[in-house]
């Protein structure tokens, strides 16, 4: 997995090792959904996180790369 600070500096982008095909509509039972669109769901977990259909995550308001990586791992485990 690649974890990198977004150019805006306000979030970390997480790209999984392999592209995923996530059925976003099935995440309602696993997460607290804040916003839902056909291509992305925004959840409220430890941080505000955008989950994209291809498995990419955008972890907002996180100031530490290690925390972002931990959050991403926790989310990917719940997606399995």
Using the predicted structure, report yes or no on whether residue 28 has a pLDDT greater than 90.
no
| The two structure tokens encoding residue 60 | 């907002």
d(CA 34, CA 37): 10
Residue 3: the pLDDT is 94
> 25 pLDDT band (50/70/90 cuts)?
confident
Query: Whole-structure pTM over 0.85, yes or no?
Result: yes
As a whole number of angstroms, the distance between CA 68 and CA 5 comes to: 10
Higher pLDDT, 8 or 29: 29
What domain range is 16 assigned to?
2-79
Cβ neighbour number for residue 69 with a 10 Å cutoff: 17
User: Count of domains in the chain?
Assistant: 1
CATH number (domain holding residue 44): 3.30.310
pLDDT band at residue 69 using 50, 70 and 90 as cut-offs = very high
pLDDT at residue 45 greater than cutoff 90: no
């Amino acid at each position: 997995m690649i974890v990198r600070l977004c150019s805006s500096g306000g979030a970390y982008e997480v790209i999984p090792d392999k592209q995923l095909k996530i059925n976003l509509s099935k995440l309602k039972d696993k997460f607290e959904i804040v916003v839902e669109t056909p291509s992305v769901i925004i959840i409220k977990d430890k941080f505000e996180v955008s989950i994209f259909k291809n498995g990419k995550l955008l972890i907002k308001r996180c100031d530490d790369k290690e925390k972002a990586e931990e959050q991403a791992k926790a989310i990917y485990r719940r997606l399995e």
